[in-house]
Amino acid sequence: MESVLTMPPNLIAEDRPERWRLRRYLIYLVSALALAGCAPTVLSLAVDGAYTASEERTLDDVVDDNGIKLELNKLLLEDGLGLFKDVGTVVYRRHVYLLGDVENAEDKARAGAIGRKPEKVSGVTNDIQVTDEGGIISLVDDIYIEKVIQADYLFDSAIDSSNFRVRSVNGVVYLMGLAESQSELDKAVAIVDARDDVRRIVNYVKVQQGG
């Protein structure tokens, strides 16, 4: 697997029985969603909106992020069903991350222009893949990868999972958010790096100043 970082084995989280039960449940959930024809954007509509007291985002950040995300989804839908179903959005502290896969560079550029339209957007990272690799099998695999990594973060006491956003597109895992320390970020990356089904890691997580 190609990775931006390779961590020593002792950083990799140990499996626990609770995880395996959750993973089995997630397999069933993923399959049901995929068979129902759910697209990446649809599956992410309600994601990223939760707020916890331990999160590094302020409540104002969360309100702005949710507002930006809703406006982006509206603009993508108005552009046409193609972009809406193929492009996923993550908004963290007013920065927009565009993910997903499209068949041509023109669609990627058009999505990038849409990403800059909401007034409160501070920046845009357009990481949409131009490829014909996608499909229902890739979608099922990507959702499974995301959910298992998120579960690993949740059950690891060294990681505050509320500060990390995980997305997978055709086996490429994107990490976004704000780590409290470099060691927390290293552990989070190591968990992803240990997976055989991850082709590459793209790490956009920032370390909190003084962390």
165-184 pLDDT tens trace: 999 999 999 999 999 999 99
Label residue 8 by pLDDT band (50, 70, 90): very low
Q: Residue 19: pLDDT above 70? A: no
1 lies in a domain? no
φ, ψ (nearest 5 deg) of residue 164: -115, 140
20 lies in a domain? yes
pTM of the model: 0.78
Model pLDDT, residue 132:
87
- Domain of 74 in residue numbering reads as 49-130
Model pLDDT, residue 45:
46
What average pLDDT does this structure show over 113-130? 97
Least confident stretch, 13-22, 74-83, 90-99, 104-113: 13-22
Total Cβ atoms within 10 A of residue 137: 9
Q: Are residues 70 and 110 in the same domain?
A: yes
Answer whether 105's CB lies under 8 Å from 52's CB: no
Q: Are residues 65 and 27 in the same domain?
A: no
Burial 104-120 (b: 16+ CB within 10 A, else e): eeebbebbbebbeebee
- Tell me the average pLDDT of the chain: 83
168 lies in a domain? yes
Structure tokens at 40: 């990446």
Model pLDDT, residue 180:
94
